[in-house]
Amino acid sequence: MPALSVRSYNNDRQKLTDEDQQISRLEVHRDLIGWVIQELERANISSQRTTGNDPEGDILIINPEDAPKVKEIIADIKRKFNG
């Protein structure tokens, strides 16, 4: 039996199975959350990834007083990447 491989989300999306598309979306989401946590760490903001499909979000901010700074960082990210 030949080895199976998952195609990149950006490679010919028409040929991806539904499962491949879901896997790709989850990989992008996972990597984005990790990157945001790194950005928060650079700003000296303690955070951690949540688990169990937490309805309150994917990132837990340890110190509630950091919330305004986190919102500012997220807004900056959105401006940078969404124009």
CB 24 within 8 A of CB 5: no
Per-residue model confidence (pLDDT) at position 55: 95
**38-43: average pLDDT:** 96
Residue pointed to by tokens 């979306």: 25
Q: CA separation (Å) from 62 to 8, 37, 70, 75?
A: 34, 12, 11, 19
Q: Taking 50 as the threshold, does the pLDDT of residue 4 lie above it?
A: no
Task: Report how far apart, in Å, the C-alpha atoms of 69 and of each of 2, 8, 18, 33, 60 are.
Answer: 50, 34, 38, 17, 14
Model confidence band, residue 81 (pLDDT cutoffs 50, 70, 90): confident
Residue 47: pLDDT over 60: yes
Q: What is the pLDDT of residues 49-79, one digit of tens each?
A: 999 999 999 999 999 999 999 999 999 999 9
Whole-number pLDDT of residue 63: 97
- Both tokens assigned to 24: 């790709």
Average pLDDT of the residues of the chain: 87
